[in-house]
């Protein structure tokens, strides 16, 4: 199992992400002692303390790039993480983002699908309710299926065999929607794939993200559609009349 996490100036959120990934790795190894897990963080054009954060966590490898492109960063991460692997059909690559928190069963869920013969798992994300006002969170949930067979693609919860990934040409070096492009390539290649509603990944609900046209931009546009939270109605009866 190889886990790839691109990061661009994510010092505030990276430790939470990597701690959750290490927890998921421990859960996997406990259930399947023969499996090993490596975690690779791609430090893309970082000028903050992301490198120090990654270095302070156990079992985390890093690769430094200067692409300024999430597609190129993900591709560099997969290449680095799998550079010594000689059996691509037996290597599973799980992808998430530095502003995310994965559940404990995340990696185990991916490999359970692999055991059923799937070479691609397209998972779900859920924005943090601590970052979104109730109306915006409700709007998000109304527009997103939360079940097996959903129609969404998120690079923050995406897994595949190395064989399928290489055959599809890998992540394209684009600044956004690299996940959508790759999944479409994988589907056209004829591999078995599954859209899973299990093990949803918690992601940041920030409106100013690192990727143009990415998830933060989507939430920002959704906020414009929904509009601001209405001001609370005044309880006129409770207001004391002035003297």
Q: Which domains, ranges and CATH numbers included, belong to the chain?
A: 2-227 (3.90.550.10)
How far are the Cα atoms of 129, 199, 236 from residue 243, in angstroms, in the given order? 44, 60, 16
pLDDT tens digit sequence for 104-128: 999 999 999 999 999 999 999 999 8
pLDDT by residue (tens digit) across 7-58? 999 999 999 999 999 999 999 999 999 999 999 999 999 999 999 999 999 9
In the prediction, which pLDDT does 102 show? 98
Rounded mean pLDDT of 193-212? Answer: 83
The whole-model pTM stands at: 0.86
Instruction: Give me the pLDDT at residue 232, please.
Output: 43
In terms of C-beta density within 10 A (0-12 exposed, 13-18 middle, 19 or more buried), how is residue 6 classed? buried
Residue 214: is its pLDDT beyond 70?
A: no
State the DSSP code for 227. Answer: -
- Reported as a single tens digit per residue, the pLDDT across 134-156 is 888 888 788 888 999 999 999 99
Look-up of token digits 């070479």: 119
């Amino acid at each position: 199992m190889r886990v790839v996490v691109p990061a661009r100036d994510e010092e505030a959120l990276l430790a939470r992400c990597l701690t959750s990934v290490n927890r998921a790795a421990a859960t996997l190894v406990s259930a399947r002692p023969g499996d090993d897990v490596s975690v690779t963080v791609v430090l893309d054009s970082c000028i903050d303390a992301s490198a120090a954060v990654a270095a302070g966590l156990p079992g985390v490898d890093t690769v430094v790039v200067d692409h300024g492109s999430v597609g190129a960063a993900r591709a560099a991460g997969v290449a680095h993480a799998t550079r010594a692997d000689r059996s691509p059909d037996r290597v599973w690559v799980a992808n998430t983002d530095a502003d995310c928190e994965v559940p404990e069963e995340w990696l185990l869920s991916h490999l359970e699908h692999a055991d059923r013969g799937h070479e691609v798992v397209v998972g779900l994300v859920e924005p943090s309710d601590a970052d979104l006002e109730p109306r915006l969170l409700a709007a998000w949930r109304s527009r997103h299926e939360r079940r097996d067979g959903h129609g969404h693609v998120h690079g923050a919860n995406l897994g595949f065999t190395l064989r399928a990934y290489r055959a599809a040409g890998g992540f394209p070096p684009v600044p956004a929607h690299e996940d959508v492009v790759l999944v479409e390539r994988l589907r056209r290649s004829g591999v078995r794939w599954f859209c899973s509603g299990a093990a949803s990944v918690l992601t940041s609900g920030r409106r100013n993200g690192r990727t143009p046209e990415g998830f933060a931009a989507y939430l920002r546009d959704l906020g414009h559609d929904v509009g601001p939270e209405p001001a609370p109605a005044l309880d006129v009866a409770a207001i004391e009349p002035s003297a």
